[in-house]
């Protein structure tokens, strides 16, 4: 298999500033999204995700500027999520230079947004983010609001519907694992891989390089999203890729 | 100066910024006279083959683009812009392409169900011969792909590089001054920027 498995750092942005991001001495301004993007780009990140965590209407213009500045200078794919509710919101982000948008609760409220977005802009730029908690073995429920609000939808059924409606990728976060550093929910990932024909990005729980390997080998994920293990400098992306390569996993070494 | 054909489909911002990054000014245009005067021409394309070629025809740019390729201007088709170099596209119907190269554009037919469609992500390009377009690239150079269709039934001599996804498909094509890349150089980090800068350098060499 020559297609590389992808490592995607995620940056949380609030009012144009990175709030959960790299904390390095070598950065002049650790809150500057552009500087963080440069850093990860140099380290060999395969894509970048910006998540607008405030996502208010007023804030969207600031986010667009962040996206525009980054996309103008960092030449790897860029995904933007958080608070995108309408086709016009999506259009503006794509025009600012995002390659993909990630839809979460807006897609649950209005699944037609996935369909319309895929028709208008193409499936390749429609990522559907799904946050789930495990109910029992082999069953997961969809949550919103950072894992606080169950929406009464079966996670696997929603994943299948998102694909059916034209999602190009699924970004799946285990809310049970998110922040725990216990590793990804591998059963969830492997189940989804069997169920859907589009790439699955694993999210939630990465605490070690073994966890990244397991997501690829056992969970059969196409990409891993990771925040804290890179932000806190536990590992660099280069180290992660060297380790994965030593495990026989194909990665891009730039 | 690189002339980029802007026929109203897709966002050309990243491509434009990447070209500026490698030191080339950019003219985005939908005017036949600009294409006629171009000394480096890029034809981008995203979305469906049919929508792209129809938009080119609606802008009355088919003949100017063909003329530019035939008068020897270094010419680069990107993604669907590469696919349109061929005679026929079979995406949501059958559409005639620019016909600069023989061949047609067909969907991936993958026996291995573990392989997802679209082919999305970083994959290897394996050159068949040395080309100025690929100068300075290492053997493990990877580019960023997003596509569900690829050229087939093309002349062996027109294949500059292949990529494997279930099987080998032509990922870079070339004949004389006409080049096409299936991936997105503007999203392919250092490798993509090098390819763009190599392309820009073709003008000085010619």
pLDDT digits (tens, 9 = 90+) for B131-169: 999 999 998 999 999 999 999 999 999 999 999 999 999
Phi-psi region for residue A137, left (φ > 0), alpha (ψ -120 to 50) or beta?
Answer: beta
CA distance B134 to B131: 5
- Longest CA–CA span in chain A (Å) reads 47
Query: How much is the average pLDDT of A12-18?
Result: 87
Spot the catalytic one: A131, A178, A185, A214: A131
pLDDT at A20 over 80: no
CB contact under 8 A, A75 and B186: yes
Query: How much is the average pLDDT of B26-31?
Result: 97
pLDDT at position B2 = 98
CB B85 within 8 A of CB B97: yes
Using the structure block, give the residue that is written with the tokens 């169900």.
B113
Task: Name which of B189, B194, B197 to mutate to probe chain A: the one with the most chain A Cβ atoms within 10 A of its Cβ.
Answer: B189
Lowest mean pLDDT among A245-249, B114-118, B145-149: B114-118
A40 band by pLDDT with thresholds 50, 70 and 90? very high
List residues in chain B touching A: CB distance below 8 A: 11, 13-14, 17-18, 21, 46-47, 113-114, 116-124, 140, 142, 144, 146, 163-165, 186-193
Please say if A12 is a catalytic residue.
Answer: yes
Q: Within an 8 Å CB–CB cutoff, is residue A104 touching chain B?
A: no
pLDDT at position B157 = 98
Query: How much is the average pLDDT of A194-211?
Result: 94
Residue of chain B with shortest Cα separation from A197: B116
B63 band by pLDDT with thresholds 50, 70 and 90? very high
CA distance A128 to B137: 35
How distant is the Cα of A79 from the closest Cα of chain B, in angstroms?
12
Query: How much is the average pLDDT of A195-223?
Result: 96
Q: Which value does ipTM take for this structure? A: 0.90
How distant is the Cα of A251 from the closest Cα of chain B, in angstroms?
8
pLDDT at B206 over 60: no
Inter-CA distances, B127 with A28, A216, B159, B167, B181, Å: 41, 29, 9, 15, 12
How distant is the Cα of A97 from the closest Cα of chain B, in angstroms?
6
Query: How much is the average pLDDT of A177-182?
Result: 89
Task: Name which of A46, A216, A238, A252 to mutate to probe chain B: the one with the most chain B Cβ atoms within 10 A of its Cβ.
Answer: A252
pLDDT at position B205 = 55
**Two tokens at A234?**
């536990």
A32 band by pLDDT with thresholds 50, 70 and 90? confident
Query: How much is the average pLDDT of A39-61?
Result: 86
pTM as predicted: 0.93
pLDDT at position A43 = 92
pLDDT at B83 over 60: yes
pLDDT at A56 over 90: no
pLDDT at position A23 = 56
User: What count of Cα atoms within 13 Å lies in the side-chain half-sphere of residue A222?
Assistant: 27
A193 band by pLDDT with thresholds 50, 70 and 90? very high
B chain contacts of residue A94, beta-carbon cutoff 8 Å: 11
The CA-based angle B183-B188-B193, given to 5 degrees, is 110
pLDDT tens, A81-105?
Answer: 998 999 999 999 998 999 999 999 9
Compute how many other C-beta atoms are within 10 angstroms of the C-beta atom of residue B121. Answer: 23
CA distance B103 to A122: 25
CA distance A251 to A210: 15
CB A4 within 8 A of CB B122: yes
CB contact under 8 A, A75 and B193: yes
Q: Within an 8 Å CB–CB cutoff, is residue A124 touching chain B?
A: yes
Average pLDDT in chain B: 95
How distant is the Cα of B29 from the closest Cα of chain A, in angstroms?
18
Establish, for the pair of chains A and B, how many residue pairs have beta carbons separated by less than 8 Å: 80
How distant is the Cα of A133 from the closest Cα of chain B, in angstroms?
26
pLDDT at position B62 = 97
Average pLDDT in chain A: 91
Query: How much is the average pLDDT of B64-91?
Result: 97
Highest average pLDDT, of A17-26, A239-248, B115-124, comes from A239-248
CB contact under 8 A, A198 and B116: yes
B chain contacts of residue A222, beta-carbon cutoff 8 Å: 116, 121
**Two tokens at B99?**
């016909």
């Amino acid at each position: 298999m020559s297609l590389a498995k992808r490592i995607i750092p995620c940056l949380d942005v609030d009012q144009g500033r990175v709030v959960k991001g790299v904390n390095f001495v070598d950065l002049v301004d650790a809150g500057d999204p552009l500087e963080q993007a440069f850093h990860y780009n140099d380290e060999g990140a395969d894509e970048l995700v910006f998540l607008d965590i405030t996502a208010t209407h007023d804030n969207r213009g600031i986010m667009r500027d962040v996206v525009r500045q980054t996309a103008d200078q960092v030449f790897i794919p860029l995904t933007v999520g958080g608070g995108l509710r309408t086709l016009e919101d999506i259009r503006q982000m794509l025009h600012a230079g995002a390659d993909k948008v990630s839809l979460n609760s807006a897609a649950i409220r209005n699944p037609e947004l996935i369909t319309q977005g895929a028709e208008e802009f193409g499936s390749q730029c429609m990522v559907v983010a799904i946050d789930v908690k495990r109910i029992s073995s082999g069953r997961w429920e969809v949550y919103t609001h950072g894992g606080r609000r169950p929406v009464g939808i079966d996670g696997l059924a929603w994943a299948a519907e998102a694909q059916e409606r034209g999602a190009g990728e699924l970004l799946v976060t285990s809310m049970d694992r998110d922040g725990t550093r216990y590793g990804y929910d591998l059963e969830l990932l492997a189940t989804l891989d069997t169920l859907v024909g589009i790439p699955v990005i694993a999210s939630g729980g990465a605490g070690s390089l073994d966890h990244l390997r397991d997501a690829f080998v056992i969970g059969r994920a196409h990409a891993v999203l990771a925040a804290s293990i890179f932000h806190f400098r536990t590992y660099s992306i280069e180290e992660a890729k060297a380790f994965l390569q030593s495990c026989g996993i194909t990665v891009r070494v730039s | 100066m690189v002339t980029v054909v802007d026929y109203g489909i897709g966002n050309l911002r990243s491509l434009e910024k990447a070209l500026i990054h490698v030191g080339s000014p950019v003219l985005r245009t939908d005017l036949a006279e600009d294409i006629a005067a171009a000394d480096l021409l890029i034809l981008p394309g995203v979305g469906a083959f049919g929508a792209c070629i129809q938009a080119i025809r609606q802008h009355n740019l088919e003949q100017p683009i063909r003329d530019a390729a035939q008068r020897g201007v270094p010419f680069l088709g990107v993604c669907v812009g590469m696919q349109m170099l061929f005679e026929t596209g079979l995406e949501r119907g059958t559409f005639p392409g620019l016909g600069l190269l023989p061949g047609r554009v067909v969907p991936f037919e993958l026996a291995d169900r573990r392989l997802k469609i679209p082919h999305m992500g970083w994959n290897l390009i394996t050159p068949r011969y040395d080309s100025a377009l690929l100068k300075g690239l290492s053997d493990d150079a990877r580019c960023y792909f997003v596509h569900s269709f690829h050229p087939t039934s093309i002349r062996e001599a027109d294949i500059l590089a292949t990529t494997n996804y279930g099987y080998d498909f032509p990922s870079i094509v070339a004949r004389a001054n006409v080049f096409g890349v299936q991936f997105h150089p503007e999203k392919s980090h250092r490798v993509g920027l090098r390819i763009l800068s190599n392309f820009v350098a073709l003008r000085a060499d010619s």
